Structure 1
């Protein structure tokens, strides 16, 4: 969604038809866990439907401050490296009616590395690779 978030984690985008994109899940849900963290630029949060208990595999990365999401969506990380990759994905041209990328291959992330707060930031060994480190 241009200027708001980039969303990922839908298994349907790998092989499903475009009309199913945004509807896929892991086959189970994850209960919400709220904290004092705020939805600011590069925060990573669970996507869900209107049911507060419907989070599954989809997530989003916030592109700017979004305080109306605080206490309503579970934040589970922050992009600590690869912000340039997030910004590049956010700039990809999308279909104005669906917010889906015109060329889905431009929007694919090669790797997302999730680090605990005790470990160091991930590093990309291949500079042409799209790596996002999340803490």
Structure 2
């Protein structure tokens, strides 16, 4: 069974130390990779082809500056899925106050992904600060696929253990009000994801209403699926 994809670093958040991972046998340290890309710490100039736009059900558009200089394969994956409409309607299924908001799973359970193959890690010097966008994965560093998270607060224990591929440059206020929970009782969702170069307009009020009205029913189904999967999967969480 596919391992549940989620951040394995809550101990780093609590203890302020090195990021940890959980495997089938318990908690194990994850050592920093030796092959690190030294990306510039300066946010690059606006580039529509490398700008991800997330229209959220929380009320507005989030603009994310992508960093192909740091994680070219991850950026290409995000752009491909956004252009396919993969992220449209997906909920934020794991949202931890003071930590991060995670999304990108079409099942809403934390166990799903796209039909594309997993991506090899691209660790870099980009820090996990407020607004950083990074890929979620299982214990295997090369298991990232479609799920990603946005940092509410800095957590440098994630550096060199998770692939950061961008940062929010506007609209962080819409991220801040994403409902908390694992999963949230009434989750926020991505109404539409697009690349700025494609000039996709924000969703209309009718589109937003159509996307958000069934949230309760779909979340109930996702929760049932998550409970069933948890009963069958003994991976520590």
Q: Same fold (TM over 0.5)?
A: yes
Q: Hey, what does 2:185 align to over in structure 1? A: 102
Q: Hey, what does 1:42 align to over in structure 2? A: 131
Structure 1 residues 24 and 11: alpha-carbon distance in aligned structure 2, compared to 1, 3 A threshold: same
Task: Output the CA distance in 1 between the equivalents of 2:155 and 2:133.
Answer: 12
Q: Hey, what does 2:57 align to over in structure 1? A: none
Task: Give the structure with the larger helix fraction.
Answer: 2
Task: Output the CA distance in 2 between the equivalents of 1:62 and 1:4.
Answer: 6
Task: Output the CA distance in 2 between the equivalents of 1:124 and 1:64.
Answer: 30
> How many residue pairs are counted as aligned between the two chains?
109
Q: Hey, what does 2:148 align to over in structure 1? A: 59
Deviation string 1:67-112 (CA, Å, 9 cap, x unpaired) is: 00000100111011211110111xx242xxxx211013xx112233
Q: Hey, what does 2:174 align to over in structure 1? A: 85
Structure 1 residues 54 and 42: alpha-carbon distance in aligned structure 2, compared to 1, 3 A threshold: same
Query: Structure 1 segments of 4 or more deviating over 6 A?
Result: 126-129
Larger Rg: 2
Match of 1:6 among 94, 101, 113: 101
Aligned to 1:68, the other structure's residue is in SS state: helix
Q: Which structure 2 residue ranges, 5 or more long, are not aligned?
A: 1-95, 209-237
Q: Hey, what does 2:75 align to over in structure 1? A: none
| Structure 2 contact 120–142 (Cα < 8 Å) conserved | yes
1:69 correspondence with 2:162:
no
Task: Output the CA distance in 2 between the equivalents of 1:93 and 1:38.
Answer: 23
Residue 3 (structure 1) shift: 1.5
Task: Output the CA distance in 2 between the equivalents of 1:9 and 1:26.
Answer: 9
Structure 1 residues 114 and 62: alpha-carbon distance in aligned structure 2, compared to 1, 3 A threshold: farther
1:24 correspondence with 2:112:
yes
Q: Which has the higher contact order (CA 8 A, sep 6+)?
A: 2
Task: Output the CA distance in 1 between the equivalents of 2:132 and 2:124.
Answer: 13
Residue 61 (structure 1) shift: 0.4
Q: Which structure 1 residue ranges, 5 or more long, are not aligned?
A: 14-20, 130-135
Task: Output the CA distance in 2 between the equivalents of 1:65 and 1:123.
Answer: 31
Aligned to 2:177, the other structure's residue is in SS state: helix
Task: Output the CA distance in 1 between the equivalents of 2:204 and 2:176.
Answer: 16
Residue 124 (structure 1) shift: 7.2
Task: Output the CA distance in 1 between the equivalents of 2:157 and 2:180.
Answer: 26
